[in-house]
Amino acid sequence: MTDTATANPLLDVDDSDVALMLRIKGGDDSAFSELFTRYSKRLVSFAHRIIRDRRRAEELVQDAFFQIHRVRDRYTPPAQFSTFVYRVVVNNCANEVRPLHREKTVPEDSRPLVVDAAPGPDDLGMERQMLRRVGDLVHDLPFDQRAALLLSRVEGFDDRQVASCLGVSELAVKSLVFRAMRVLREGVAAHDAARCFGPQTKRPPVRDHDEAAAGAAFEH
């Protein structure tokens, strides 16, 4: 009889997430609670950055775990459980966003994209303004670009993992992230120019510090 690791050479046999999921498959509800506790907070944060609605993000993550629990009997270990659960959440977010063609408005509970930013008192106002601008730029991205960017720059997934979450090729991931970062760089540059000189009809050239500012918004 072929064991699981042999049948799936990509499986990390030390992956405790997979071990928990296999316990869930065997009917261990305590393992399900443990897995939910392990992932729910970061998944809600991720979904919130996608749809900018905290309450709905919590509901989508709960739905994702219900979906996983419903198919537990058919579960076979994937290469990495984190990409499996993120893919379910990404699909739920896509179903939430795409059919509705939502107006580009921000719910009252929305906040900037960045994780635990804590600027000092001297630059607090400028920092918040920049982070808000970056958050708005990300929210205006097409869904696939937004998801790829957040998975790569906030969740820290590599191209292979992002590709698995989105169901696309690694080459497509590189293209999605590149295009998203280009929009952010240009948006940050335009924001700087408008702040200093007033609105411009032409896009200003992207400078090195503009690129750094756009990238810094995704650092933990």
Distances (CA, A) of 158 to 10, 83, 198: 15, 11, 39
In the predicted structure, residue 78 carries a pLDDT above the cut 50: yes
Identify which has the larger pLDDT, 12 or 22.
22
Residue-level pLDDT at 65: 95
Q: Is pTM, for the whole model, over 0.95?
A: no
* Residue 108 CB partners (closer than 8 Å, separation 6+): none
Identify which has the larger pLDDT, 119 or 167.
167
Number of Cα atoms under 13 Å in the Cβ half of residue 118? 2
Helix 143-153, helix 124-140: angle, nearest 10: 130
Rounded average pLDDT over 190-216: 53
- The pLDDT confidence band at residue 86, using thresholds 50, 70 and 90, is very high
- Interatomic CA distance for residues 174 and 180, integer angstroms: 10
**How many other C-beta atoms lie within 10 A of the C-beta of residue 50?**
24
Residue-level pLDDT at 129: 72
Q: Is the dihedral of CA 18, 21, 25, 29 positive or negative?
A: positive
- Interatomic CA distance for residues 135 and 114, integer angstroms: 8
Q: Domains in the chain, please, with CATH?
A: 1-104 (1.10.1740.10), 112-220 (1.10.10.10)
- The pLDDT confidence band at residue 75, using thresholds 50, 70 and 90, is confident
- The structure tokens listed for 39 are 């992932």
Helix 29-51, helix 54-70: angle, nearest 10: 140
* Residue 17 CB partners (closer than 8 Å, separation 6+): 35, 38, 80, 81, 82
pLDDT, tens digit (0-9, with 9 covering 90-100), for 103-158: 444 444 444 444 444 445 545 666 677 777 777 888 899 999 999 999 999 999 99
Hey, which of 9-13, 36-40, 137-141, 187-191 has the most confident mean pLDDT? Answer: 36-40
